[in-house]
Amino acid sequence: METRHCASKEETIRYTTEELRNAFLIESLFENDQLKLTYTHEDRMLIGGAVPVREPLTLIEPDIKTKAFFERREAGIINIGGPGSIKVDGEEYHLDQKDCLYVGLGKNEVVLSSEDQKNPARFYILSALAHQEYPTVKIGINEAAPVHLGDEKNSNKRTIYKYIHAEGVQSSQLMMGMTLLAPNCMWNTMPAHIHDRRSEVYLYFDMEPDTRVFHFMGEPSETRHLVVKNEQSVISPSWSIHSGIGTSNYTFIWAMAGENYTFDDMEQVKMSDLR
Could you list the residues known to form a binding site for Zn(2+), using ranges.
193, 195, 200, 242
Q: Which residues are annotated as a binding site?
A: 193, 195, 200, 242
Task: For the chain, count helices (H), then strands (E).
Answer: 2, 24
By the 8 A CB rule, do 205 and 260 touch? no
Strands 35-40 and 2-4 turn out to be parallel
Query: Which residue in 78, 158, 81, 179 sits closest to 125, CA to CA?
Result: 78
Q: What CA dihedral angle connects 75, 140, 262 and 127, to 10 degrees?
A: 10
User: In this structure, are residues 88 and 56 in contact, taking their beta carbons and an 8 Å threshold?
Assistant: no
Asked if 112 and 55 count as a contact pair (C-beta separation under 8 A), the reply is no
